[in-house]
Structure 1
Amino acid sequence: MIRKHRAHPLWFAYALHRLSGLALALFLPAHFYILSKALTQPESLDNFLTLTESPMVKLAEFGLVFLLAVHFLGGFRLMAMEWLPWSDRQKTFAAVAVAGAFLVSGLFFLRVV
């Protein structure tokens, strides 16, 4: 049984913002570890970078950029909710944030592939 508040589109925006933040927080330590290889083990970094040419990694990069754009635009949505008067257009703002995230990550994906 879905609770009534969880059926609301803004609850989806809330959940997506929290999940994107969590995924980015989990990604960052791995990213910093790989970057540290440039200083400590350059040959190991070179071996890792050859893996980045894989289509699956390209698809994962699309997902990463999507998560970053969703989190960034979701933050703007939250600031608008806090600083602007409440209106029925909040659902539209949430939809625009997700659409913008798809646009940004899609453009990144097309330029990378």
Structure 2
Amino acid sequence: MRPHRQHPLWFAFILHRLSGLALALFLPLHFYVMALALNAPEKLDGFLHWAEAPLVKFAEFGLVFLLAVHIFGGLRLLALELLPWSGRQKTLAATAVSLSFLLSVGFFLRAI
């Protein structure tokens, strides 16, 4: 295994890239549902009824988690580029993932 892939922040790097990819794949579906609100309200009602399913609620938790991970990962990258950095990188990366998880759990608990 390459030495850089053994670094703990490699996980933060991969998580940020994968969350960005997943969010990019989600956007067309989101835009489609928003178009339903404008052009086909009856279809939107059917979609919203389907969206009340527990599995969909859990998927929303995952979406909020990905969004939070991506936001905090982006803030971590900005900090790396713009701020003097110390040996606390691991702690800050772990804090970003933890905050992402807590935010998405809070959303999930409100949604159920």
Q: Which residue does 1:23 correspond to in 2?
A: 22
Partner deviation per Cα, 1:44-73 (whole Å, 9 max, x = no partner): 110111001111000000000000000001
The two structures, once aligned, show a CA RMSD in angstroms of: 0.8
Query: In the TM superposition, what are the counterparts of 1:5-16 in structure 2 within 5 Å?
Result: 5-16=4-15
Unaligned runs of 5+ in 2: none
The one-letter amino acid paired with 1:71 is H
Q: % of aligned pairs identical?
A: 67
Match for residue 54 of structure 2?
55
The equivalent of 2:83 in structure 1 is 84
- For normalisation by structure 1, the TM-score amounts to 0.96
Give the structure 1 partner of residue 66 of structure 2: 67
Number of aligned residue pairs? 112
Normalized against structure 2, the TM-score is what?
Answer: 0.96
Q: Which 4+ residue blocks in structure 1 deviate beyond 3 angstroms? A: none
Give the Å deviation of 1:3: 2.1
| Unpaired stretches in structure 1, ≥5 consecutive residues | none
